[in-house]
């Protein structure tokens, strides 16, 4: 991994690992890991250098997400989701309120959440029912019935999408930053899931009113294509890589123990382990290569808006989501009964359950459906 | 020198004798002899590692799993010390 942030990422991972089982069983946000992220100044790490930040590249964010994700996928996901929102601030915003929010991230390590899905739109974040309203000059208001807002109650600000006004079609969306103190959350359901239980992706009716300089400059279609979607896919994939690597580590440790018991007579798992390592290497290469791809074109709107870029970012998500499920199940076979049990140090219970969400949260089939017409128009970039 | 030094070196020599596939008897080797100059191979290091781990009840950390750890009995002894420190 790149050296610049390795020690700070490892410090957060150590805290995240310590509380991972409790976060999972209580289905609560990884608050200790969030505190560690703030202490290590890793929530502001992506703020560009020209604004006084450290300017972490997508490749560097990817490395950090993997390190934390290997310790606790919930903490990794919070890191991932926060940065895919944070990047929006300076890539798509210039108004005074947006700049103030960026400074809050930089100076006070604000944690950013997002509310993009909504009841009645079938999980398509590129459509909104709710509309932004302008109750007084300089003010903007929104009420959103959101089936999930991850770690909403721990967020210092939530980025919310809505139709640009009450007369706009459902795809004509803008995004507004709602800082704490200016939004109200009414909980309508709790997140009780098989895995990633600590993302606390509860349901809320969010009501917010804030200053209209909290609006992002670009329409949400552009924000989504250029930043929100590719960075979410890349950073989630990086977390999944972390889950896979921690399962593979458990497999390696198991085979090493078996090998010690009969030196010179390799246990059957050794071949399976060799195969697992090949899969993990190719998974890692895919994720890191794609992160570097984003870094290369990050400032080029034409490249970011191209069909081949959209296809490749969807591809890394689909590939990674399938790979993590495959890898943890292969690791489980190798680790055997100690991994299947939930009360052993070798248990893979969390890794298996956390991985199973990957092809479902933003369903792979939805992405493939989105890719299907594009696939007729563009070749794969080789 | 720690309390383990004598036992560690004995365990290393035992492991090399049994699994090292060296082209000279281990008894003839000095602690500083370059093991790779007497027929040690990277494949053989795996079983030597496992045998030492098993004999001493330790586990070498990943950062020590490289060629320089296995270059001599001396190097292995200090790797064992480091592994113990991390356990």
Is residue A176 within 8 A of residue A53, CB to CB? The reply is no
Is residue A173 within 8 A of residue A159, CB to CB? The reply is no
Q: Which fold has domain A6-111?
A: Butyryl-Coa Dehydrogenase, subunit A; domain 1 (1.10.540)
- pLDDT for res A379: 78
- pLDDT for res A1: 53
- pLDDT for res A361: 85
Is residue A380 within 8 A of residue A103, CB to CB? The reply is no
Counting DSSP H helices and E strands in chain B, the numbers are: 3, 0
**Percent of chain B residues topping a pLDDT of 70:** 95
Backbone CA torsion sign across A30, A32, A33, A37: positive
Distance from CA of A15 to the nearest CA of B (A): 18
Interface test with A, best of B52, B54, B60, B62 (most A CBs within 10 A): B54
Question: Which positions in chain B touch A256 (Cβ < 8 Å)?
Answer: 50, 53, 59
ipTM of the complex: 0.81
- pLDDT for res A221: 95
Distances in Å between the Cα of A343 and the Cα atoms of A348, B5, B32 are 10, 37, 46
Q: Cβ separation of A264 and B53 shorter than 8 Å? A: no
Instruction: Report the C-alpha gap between A3 and A150 in whole angstroms.
Output: 30
**Could you report the average pLDDT of every consecutive run of 10 residues in chain A (382 residues)?**
88 98 96 98 98 97 98 98 98 97 98 94 87 97 96 97 96 97 96 94 96 97 96 98 98 95 91 97 98 97 93 95 98 97 96 96 82 78 78
Is residue A2 within 8 A of residue A63, CB to CB? The reply is yes
Tell which A residues from 228 to 257 touch B, by Cβ distance under 8 Å.
256
Does A259 contact chain B (CB < 8 Å)? Answer: yes
Is residue A145 within 8 A of residue A98, CB to CB? The reply is no
Q: What is the CATH number of domain A113-214?
A: 2.40.110.10
Is domain A220-375 classified as CATH 1.20.140.10?
A: yes
Residues with Cβ within 8 Å of B9's Cβ and at least 6 positions away in sequence, in order, are: B31, B73, B77
Size of interface A-B (CB pairs under 8 A): 18
Domain ranges of chain A: 6-111, 113-214, 220-375
Is residue A84 within 8 A of residue A231, CB to CB? The reply is yes
Is residue A77 within 8 A of residue A196, CB to CB? The reply is yes
DSSP annotation of A360: T
Residue of B nearest to A253 (CA): B59
Residue of A nearest to B55 (CA): A260
Q: Cβ separation of B54 and A256 shorter than 8 Å? A: no
Is residue A74 within 8 A of residue A196, CB to CB? The reply is yes
Residue of B nearest to A255 (CA): B50
- Place B86 in a pLDDT band, splitting at 50, 70 and 90: confident
Is residue A361 within 8 A of residue A123, CB to CB? The reply is no
Collapse the DSSP code of A57 into the 3-class scheme (helix H, G, I; strand E, B; otherwise coil) and give the result: coil
- pLDDT for res A112: 98
- pLDDT for res A377: 76
A380 token code pair: 């794969």
- pLDDT for res A367: 81
Does A3 contact chain B (CB < 8 Å)? Answer: no
Ordered domains of chain B (ranges, CATH): 5-86 (1.10.1200.10)
- pLDDT for res A369: 83
Distances in Å between the Cα of A151 and the Cα atoms of A12, A145, A208, A291 are 18, 16, 17, 25
Instruction: Report the C-alpha gap between A338 and A254 in whole angstroms.
Output: 9
- pLDDT for res A101: 98
Taking only the tens place, the pLDDT of each residue in B27-51 is 999 999 999 999 999 999 999 999 9
Q: Name A206's bridge partners.
A: A144, A185
Question: Which positions in chain B touch A261 (Cβ < 8 Å)?
Answer: 54
- The secondary element (H helix, E strand) that includes residue A179 is strand A173-179
Is residue A75 within 8 A of residue A198, CB to CB? The reply is yes
The number of beta carbons lying within 10 Å of the beta carbon of residue A174 is 24
- pLDDT for res B87: 59
Distances in Å between the Cα of A291 and the Cα atoms of A218, A287, A294, B4 are 23, 6, 5, 48
Residue of B nearest to A249 (CA): B62
Q: Cβ separation of B59 and A256 shorter than 8 Å? A: yes
Residue of B nearest to A263 (CA): B47
Question: Which positions in chain A touch B59 (Cβ < 8 Å)?
Answer: 256
pTM: 0.93
């Amino acid at each position: 991994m790149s050296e610049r942030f390795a020690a700070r990422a490892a410090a957060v991972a150590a805290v995240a690992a310590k509380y991972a089982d409790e976060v999972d069983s209580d289905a609560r946000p990884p608050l200790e890991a969030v505190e560690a992220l703030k202490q290590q100044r890793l929530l502001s790490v992506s703020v560009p250098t020209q604004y006084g930040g450290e300017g972490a590249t997508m490749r560097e964010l990817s490395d950090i997400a993997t390190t934390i994700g290997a310790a606790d996928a919930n903490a990794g996901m919070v890191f991932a989701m926060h940065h895919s929102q944070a990047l929006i601030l300076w890539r798509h915003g210039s108004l005074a309120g947006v700049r103030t929010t960026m400074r809050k991230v930089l100076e006070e390590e604000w944690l950013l959440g997002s509310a993009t899905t909504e009841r009645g739109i079938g999980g398509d974040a590129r459509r909104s029912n709710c509309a932004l309203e302008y109750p007084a000059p300089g003010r903007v208001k929104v009420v959103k019935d959101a089936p999930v807002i991850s770690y909403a109650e721990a967020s210092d600000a939530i980025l919310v999408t809505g139709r640009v006004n009450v007369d706009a079609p459902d795809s004509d969306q803008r995004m507004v930053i709602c800082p704490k103190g200016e939004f109200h959350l009414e909980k309508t359901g709790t997140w009780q899931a098989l895995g990633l239980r600590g993302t606390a992706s509860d349901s809320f009716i969010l009501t917010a009113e804030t200053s209209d300089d909290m609006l992002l400059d670009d329409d949400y279609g552009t924000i989504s294509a250029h930043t929100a979607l590719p960075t979410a896919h890349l950073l989630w994939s990086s977390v999944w890589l972390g889950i896979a690597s921690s399962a593979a580590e458990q497999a390696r440790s198991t085979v090493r123990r078996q090998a010690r018991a009969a030196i010179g007579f390799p246990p059957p798992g050794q071949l399976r382990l060799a195969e697992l390592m090949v899969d993990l290497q190719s998974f890692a290469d895919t994720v890191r290569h794609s992160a570097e791809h984003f870094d290369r074109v990050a400032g080029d709107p034409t490249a970011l808006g191209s069909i081949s870029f959209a296809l490749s970012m969807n591809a890394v998500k689909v590939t990674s989501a399938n790979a993590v499920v495959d890898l943890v199940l292969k690791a489980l076979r190798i680790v055997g009964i100690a991994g299947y049990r939930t009360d052993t140090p070798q248990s893979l219970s969390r890794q298996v359950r956390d991985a199973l969400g990957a092809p479902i949260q933003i369903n792979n089939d939805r992405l493939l459906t989105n890719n299907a017409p594009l696939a007729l128009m563009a070749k794969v970039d080789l | 020198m720690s309390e383990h030094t004598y036992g560690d070196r004995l365990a290393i020599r035992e492991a090399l004798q049994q699994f090292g596939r060296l082209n000279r008897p281990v008894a003839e080797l000095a602690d500083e002899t370059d093991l790779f100059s007497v027929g040690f191979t990277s494949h053989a290091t795996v079983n030597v590692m496992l045998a030492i781990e098993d004999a001493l009840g330790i586990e070498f950390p990943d950062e020590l799993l490289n060629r320089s750890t296995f270059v001599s009995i001396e190097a292995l002894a200090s790797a064992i010390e480091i592994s113990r420190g991390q356990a």
